Structure formats: C-alpha cells, structure tokens
Amino acid sequence: MNKAELIESIATKANASKSATADLLNATLEVLSEALARGDSVQLIGFGTFSVSERSARTGRNPQTGKEIKIAAKKVARFKAGTALSSAVNEVKPAPAKASRPKPGKNL
C-alpha cells in the first residue's frame, strides 16, 4: 500500500474527504518526524513506539573490492510494534480455497 492508497482507505473509513485526510496524514507524519529529530520517542498505545537509537562507528568492507572502509556513526529511526498490532499481524486466517486444476501432463 502506498501513501495515496492509505489516504483513500482512511478517507473511506472516516467518511472524510481525501484532501482533508491527506492534510491530516501529512501533518501527523511531520509531527512524528520533528519529534524523532529532537530525539523524543512517540508511543501509540496498542500500535507501537517510534524511537531513535544511535549506531556507533564501525569498520565495513566494500563487497566489490574487499577493501575496508570506515562507516560513520549515525542516528536511526526504530519502530517496535505494540501488542495489539502484533496480535493482528499474527492472527491466523483461513487459507483461501484453491480451485482444483488438472495436474500438468495428465490428459484425460
């Protein structure tokens, strides 16, 4: 699902216009980005937690030449799924019924 499909889906569920939904989604993403840039974490109970962690500097290897390279330290965004989201993702759903087809090479 891309951003346009997400906006359409939210607008349908909320019975709102696509433009208003797009404005709200863009504002939400902007606030989330600003909070993470400040080093804050954003916790959405049941959904998950967005946070920032630091990756230390390390030595890597160029896969083409095998030469060692230095990789600088940096901050990375992290997401940890909440219990409700994890449960929804791992919920066992019945497999779709398959239409029976003749097996290849079996001419009847």
Is the pLDDT assigned to residue 43 strictly greater than 80?
yes
Give the Å distances, CA to CA, from 3 to 7, 12, 84, 86: 6, 14, 23, 22
| DSSP H or E stretch at residue 86 | helix 83-90
Topology of domain 41-88 in CATH is: HU Protein; Chain A (4.10.520)
Q: What does pTM read for this prediction?
A: 0.69
pLDDT in tens, 52-97: 999 999 999 999 998 999 999 999 999 999 999 999 999 867 666 6
Whether pLDDT at 18 is above 70: yes
With contact defined as beta carbons under 8 Å apart, do 7 and 1 qualify? no
Cα–Cα separations (whole angstroms), residue 102 to 64, 72, 108: 48, 58, 9
Residue 103 has pLDDT above 90, yes or no: no
Q: Where are the domains of the chain?
A: 1-39, 41-88
How confident is the model at residue 106, as a pLDDT? 57
What is the model's pLDDT at position 91? Answer: 84
